[in-house]
């Protein structure tokens, strides 16, 4: 089963957000507490991410860890997933000299924290070894300290959850080594020298070894120090090194399907769809709450709730103090429907946009804002008012620079109740489409329901 | 490397299309010719598709082969891929009794041909066995004839190309059995009884066994007749049966990454994106070719050609005889930009829509039609003309029923050349977005560039 979509991580640059996230149950997990042995010291944990790959299987010139998803490089999503876990003290990323400056730019732009960069080696194993060396404190001027347990993860597995990280760390502390595994999707076979089937392996008796893995630092560091050039050049599996050189049979932990490795172009498509789906799970409808409960804005809210029954639809107010809305922004809602009840200008929308810009919410994901107007446009001619609304194009261009996708939506508001319901449903369908697609190509449009 | 996107298959219900497809090089491949032994008889080939799975790994109640992609069930794409290959004489699909009527409905709706249905067994092997029995001519009233070579493929691998089908059939004729393989993405490990690592397999020495596979009919049918209940219940690999009971070491054929099996929800997302990308590779711009070469419509065409340099942009004319356009429709172009040069009504668009409806083109994929108008809307008031254009909503609702997605696009047409270029670029960006997203939620909108 596909896991339930998780809330995206807190915006790491916003200390209020970090505080809110730390207060949430998921982030209060702790390797020591989880083992239900109160008083026992939690192990210090660091993570190493080899990110030196060239991505040749992708068929594109950009290494896959730097391929953009919603305009942000894949590796930034993976860093975000690790950063959310407060008990991971240091995250060491191994990148090639060629990509070092680009990586620094990514860390700065997306405000990643607790990241150290080391130079990647020519193979995955050499990159990991470089990362471990940086943690081993035998390097001069290192700001890093040697952890008790080290997580090894791939830069191209962005959907790793705290839960599985905790499981591998806990198991590593007990067994010395641990790794996530998954059932095989295809049967594995062994070919003969002439390219024919020699034998096939029983699927139920084998597992695919995935990431994350975790090790007692001493175990894996010693294994790397002992291992041969052949291992460093051609090996791929850290669990195998712990077995070969440390005589440790790693504990295997069943992982969820979302641990899969972004390998081919289709995996980028899949990752983009998953991310879009995750950030579309919460829609905030903003309207003047002093309004009559029977107001058409509430009807729209009801229809959205009914049609998107897996989506959380909440409503907030910009006034009096706008405290509600600040809370909703803090909870990382990436979708806003601003119902303009009293006016046909952009005052309310403008205030919302200002709040969003101040919050830094759109640093990590594009935020969709839909400014809704009600008008009996079939009885009135397209007039000055309509032209006013067209100004949304200019606002949209401006906020687009800050990753906010603004559209207008004019909903037909006839006297006839049945017709009104029909146009509200149409409006809800357009809102759903704009949020789902999250495509910057349509910003500034005034859509009509 | 991801393979180049292939043209989608011909519409099987349209005999003109079938003729055009048969004339194309890809479909003139033939198992005998390919072996470069002229005069040698081509083997008769049939295919068996087990489609009885419940799709429990997907986490959705619908079995994955029936999950919709662009509103069409996944299995229909796989049938389309096999149907395109003219030398596959029969396609036998095994479905559960529960899904038999739904499957018949799919065959009728999408005009699939050469399909026979048999009842699925409780396991994959039993379903395949049922399919083979239907081909073995020992069934009363069977319209099928026993083939020399049988292809076995999965209903949930929609992107199979003629090339790999030909390779496995040719190899099966020579070796008795053949199957597509891929490099392993993850290391495969063998766990011990207590859930720890026993050993890991060397990745380079193993392969993932994928589909399609092909067999001399006698070889695989005899293997199934001999094989044990245990094999039928717990086995998954046909190549293994050919080895165990027929003592045949199947030839392994390297497949492309697009042979992957749609297994998880993310795979459906990936498949949808791949299909959308494939049908967006050709845009036809329709305008009155008697027009001045410097007309703004040609500027728009140039910009689209420059910005979408991987996309084929052609132009066609509705008059005098509209023969050009008919040819373009026959070649399965799913994207039309109708530039309304002389009028602000829907006459030209209406004629295009009529031609599309007659062609049956939209049976397999949603067709995008964008009706473009040029207007200096900043100097004139929104007037009657604008309201005329809004009628596009009614047209759009009507053609939506026949899987045609119609939108309007009003491009700002100022006297200033530089401003005109800017609005043309904006128009091209909107066209690109509408084609890429292919979302029915925005049909009938009048977008503004």
A266 and A309 fall within a common domain: no
**Is A3 among the domain residues?**
no
Question: Looking at residues B427-444, what average pLDDT do you find?
Answer: 95
Residue B434: which H helix or E strand, with range?
helix B417-437
* CA proximity to B113, closest of B70, B61, B76, B159: B76
Higher pLDDT, residue A324 or A426? A426
- Average pLDDT of chain B, as a whole number: 86
Question: What phi, psi does A201 have (nearest 5°)?
Answer: -90, 145
Kindly determine whether residue A273 and residue B263, on different chains, have CB atoms separated by under 8 Å.
no
Contacts of A253 (CB under 8 A, 6+ apart): A164, A167, A168, A171, A178, A179, A180, A181
**Is B311 among the domain residues?**
yes
* Closest residue in chain A to residue B443, using alpha carbons only: A430
Domain boundary among A216, A249, A275: A275
Overall residue count recorded for chain A in this entry: 449
- Distance in angstroms (rounded) separating the CA atoms of residues A283 and A297: 14
* CA proximity to A198, closest of B181, B347, B66: B181
B191 and B313 fall within a common domain: no
Say whether pLDDT at A345 is over 60: yes
Kindly determine whether residue A195 and residue B251, on different chains, have CB atoms separated by under 8 Å.
yes
| Segment B216-239, tens digit of pLDDT | 999 999 999 999 999 999 887 899
Find the CB nearest A270 among B269, B430, B437. Answer: B269
Complex-level ipTM beyond the 0.90 threshold? no
Highest mean pLDDT among A237-251, A378-392, B39-53: A237-251
**Is B10 among the domain residues?**
no
- Distance in angstroms (rounded) separating the CA atoms of residues B33 and B41: 9
Q: What percent of chain B has pLDDT over 70?
A: 82
Size of interface A-B (CB pairs under 8 A): 231
CATH at B78: 3.90.550.10
- Distance in angstroms (rounded) separating the CA atoms of residues B447 and A445: 6
> Encoding tokens for residue A5?
């979509």
Q: Can you give the pLDDT at residue A234?
A: 86
- Distance in angstroms (rounded) separating the CA atoms of residues B179 and B152: 9
B301 and B421 fall within a common domain: yes
* Closest residue in chain A to residue B193, using alpha carbons only: A205
* Chain A nearest C-alpha distance from B206 (Å): 5
A65 and A154 fall within a common domain: yes
Say whether pLDDT at A333 is over 50: yes
A338 and A426 fall within a common domain: yes
Most B CBs within 10 A among A187, A278, A366, hence the mutation to make, goes to A187
Kindly determine whether residue B252 and residue A393, on different chains, have CB atoms separated by under 8 Å.
no
Contacts of A62 (CB under 8 A, 6+ apart): A55
Say whether pLDDT at A397 is over 60: yes
Question: Looking at residues A305-313, what average pLDDT do you find?
Answer: 81
From start to end of B217-265, where are the E strands? 251-254
- Helical spans, DSSP H, in B24-93: 31-34, 74-83
Domain boundary among B242, B275, B308: B275
- Distance in angstroms (rounded) separating the CA atoms of residues B27 and B35: 16
- Distance in angstroms (rounded) separating the CA atoms of residues B195 and A177: 12
C-alpha atoms less than 13 angstroms from C-alpha of B214 in its C-beta half-sphere: 28
Kindly determine whether residue B266 and residue A251, on different chains, have CB atoms separated by under 8 Å.
no
Q: Can you give the pLDDT at residue A229?
A: 93
Q: Can you give the pLDDT at residue B257?
A: 94
Question: Looking at residues B183-203, what average pLDDT do you find?
Answer: 94
**Is A6 among the domain residues?**
no
A250 and A302 fall within a common domain: no
**Is A8 among the domain residues?**
no
> Encoding tokens for residue B181?
């393989």
**Is A341 among the domain residues?**
yes
> Encoding tokens for residue B280?
């967006």
Q: Can you give the pLDDT at residue A116?
A: 97
A317 and A204 fall within a common domain: no
Find the CB nearest B387 among A2, A203, A382. Answer: A382
> Encoding tokens for residue A345?
């200008």
Question: Looking at residues A19-28, what average pLDDT do you find?
Answer: 39
Q: Can you give the pLDDT at residue B57?
A: 58
Higher pLDDT, residue B222 or B12? B222
* Chain A nearest C-alpha distance from B191 (Å): 7
* Cα B113 from chain centroid (whole Å): 15
Find the CB nearest A442 among B175, B184, B430. Answer: B430
| Segment A41-64, tens digit of pLDDT | 678 999 999 999 876 655 667 899
* Chain A nearest C-alpha distance from B321 (Å): 36
Q: Can you give the pLDDT at residue B391?
A: 85
Q: Can you give the pLDDT at residue A35?
A: 47
Say whether pLDDT at A207 is over 50: yes
Q: At what angle do helices B238-246 and B124-135 cross, to 10 degrees?
A: 70
Torsion, Cα B339 B345 B351 B357, to 10 degrees, reads 100
Q: Can you give the pLDDT at residue B21?
A: 36
B93 and B57 fall within a common domain: yes
Question: Looking at residues B266-275, what average pLDDT do you find?
Answer: 97
* Chain A nearest C-alpha distance from B434 (Å): 8
Q: Can you give the pLDDT at residue B36?
A: 43
| Segment A68-87, tens digit of pLDDT | 999 999 999 999 999 999 99
Question: Looking at residues A239-247, what average pLDDT do you find?
Answer: 95
B407 and B432 fall within a common domain: yes
Torsion, Cα B16 B17 B18 B23, to 10 degrees, reads 90
| Segment A125-141, tens digit of pLDDT | 999 999 999 999 766 77
CATH at A305: 3.40.50.720
**Is A7 among the domain residues?**
no
Q: Can you give the pLDDT at residue B413?
A: 86
| DSSP per-residue string spanning A34-73 | HTT-TTPPPPPEEEEEE-----GGGTSSS-GGG-EETTEE
Q: How many CB atoms lie within 10 A of CB A24?
A: 12
Domain boundary among A256, A275, A294: A275
Say whether pLDDT at A235 is over 70: yes
Q: Can you give the pLDDT at residue A63?
A: 92
- Average pLDDT of chain A, as a whole number: 86
Number of domains into which chain B is organized: 2
Kindly determine whether residue B269 and residue A264, on different chains, have CB atoms separated by under 8 Å.
no
* Closest residue in chain B to residue A178, using alpha carbons only: B196
* Closest residue in chain A to residue B254, using alpha carbons only: A195
- Distance in angstroms (rounded) separating the CA atoms of residues A301 and B366: 30
| Segment B321-370, tens digit of pLDDT | 455 788 888 889 999 999 886 566 788 888 899 999 999 999 999 999 99
Most A CBs within 10 A among B62, B70, B197, hence the mutation to make, goes to B197
| Segment A85-127, tens digit of pLDDT | 999 999 999 999 999 999 999 999 999 999 999 999 999 999 9
B285 and B410 fall within a common domain: yes
* Chain B nearest C-alpha distance from A446 (Å): 7
Kindly determine whether residue A252 and residue B191, on different chains, have CB atoms separated by under 8 Å.
yes
* Closest residue in chain A to residue B430, using alpha carbons only: A441
Q: Give B-chain residues touching A2 at CB under 8 angstroms.
A: 58-59, 264-266
Q: Can you give the pLDDT at residue A33?
A: 54
A269 and A355 fall within a common domain: no
Q: Can you give the pLDDT at residue A290?
A: 56
A369 and A339 fall within a common domain: yes
Kindly determine whether residue B448 and residue A393, on different chains, have CB atoms separated by under 8 Å.
yes
Pairing of strands B88-95, B45-50: parallel
Kindly determine whether residue B186 and residue A210, on different chains, have CB atoms separated by under 8 Å.
yes
Q: Can you give the pLDDT at residue A389?
A: 72
- Helical spans, DSSP H, in A162-261: 162-175, 217-226, 229-234, 238-246
- Distance in angstroms (rounded) separating the CA atoms of residues B430 and B300: 12
Kindly determine whether residue B448 and residue A448, on different chains, have CB atoms separated by under 8 Å.
no
Q: B431 lies in which domain range?
A: 279-448
**Is A124 among the domain residues?**
yes
Place of tokens 């009233």: B141
Question: Looking at residues B291-309, what average pLDDT do you find?
Answer: 80
Q: Can you give the pLDDT at residue A179?
A: 98
Q: Are B284 and B316 in contact (CB under 8 A)?
A: yes
Q: In which band, very low, low, confident or very high, does the pLDDT at A312 lie, cut at 50, 70 and 90?
A: confident
């Amino acid at each position: 089963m596909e896991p339930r979509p998780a809330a995206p991580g807190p915006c790491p640059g916003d200390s209020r957000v970090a505080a809110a996230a730390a207060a949430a149950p998921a982030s209060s997990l702790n390797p020591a507490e989880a083992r239900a042995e109160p008083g026992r010291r939690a192990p210090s944990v660091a993570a190493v991410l080899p990110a030196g790959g060239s991505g040749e299987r992708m068929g594109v010139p950009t290494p896959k860890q730097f391929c953009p998803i919603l305009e942000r490089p894949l590796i930034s999503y993976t860093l975000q997933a690790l950063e959310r876990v407060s008990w991971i003290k240091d995250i060491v990323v191994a990148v090639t000299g060629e990509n070092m400056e680009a990586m620094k730019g990514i860390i700065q732009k997306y405000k990643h924290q607790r990241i150290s960069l080391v130079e990647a080696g020519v193979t995955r194993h050499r990159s990991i070894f470089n990362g471990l060396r940086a943690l081993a404190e035998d390097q001069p001027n290192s700001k890093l300290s040697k952890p008790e347990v080290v997580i090894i993860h791939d830069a191209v597995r962005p959907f790793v959850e705290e839960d599985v990280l905790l499981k591998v760390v806990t198991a590593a502390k007990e067994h010395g080594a641990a790794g996530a595994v998954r059932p095989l999707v295809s049967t594995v076979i062994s070919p003969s020298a002439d390219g024919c089937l020699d034998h096939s392996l029983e699927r139920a008796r084998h597992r695919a070894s995935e990431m994350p893995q975790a090790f007692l630092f001493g175990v894996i560091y010693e294994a790397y120090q002992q291992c041969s050039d052949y291992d460093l050049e051609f090996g791929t599996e850290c669990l195998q090194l712990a077995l070969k050189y440390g005589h440790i049979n790693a504990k295997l932990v069943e992982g969820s399907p979302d641990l899969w490795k972004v390998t081919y172009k289709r995996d980028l498509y899949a990752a983009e769809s998953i991310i879009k789906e995750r950030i579309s799970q919460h829609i905030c409808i903003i309207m003047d709450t002093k309004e009559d409960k029977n107001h058409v804005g509430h009807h729209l809210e009801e229809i959205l709730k009914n049609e998107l029954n897996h989506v959380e639809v909440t409503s907030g107010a910009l006034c009096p103090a706008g405290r509600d809305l600040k809370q909703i922004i803090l909870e990382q809602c990436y979708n806003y429907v601003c119902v303009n009840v009293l006016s046909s200008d952009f005052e309310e929308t403008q205030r919302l946009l200002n709040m969003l810009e101040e919050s830094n919410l759109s640093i990590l994901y594009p935020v969709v804002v839909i400014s809704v107007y009600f008008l009996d446009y079939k009885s009135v001619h397209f007039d000055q008012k309509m032209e006013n609304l067209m100004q949304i194009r200019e606002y949209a261009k401006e906020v687009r620079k800050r990753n906010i996708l603004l559209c207008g939506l004019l909903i037909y508001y006839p006297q006839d109740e049945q017709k009104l319901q029909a146009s509200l449903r149409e409006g809800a369908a357009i809102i759903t489409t704009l949020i789902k697609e999250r495509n910057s190509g349509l910003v500034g449009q005034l859509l009509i329901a």
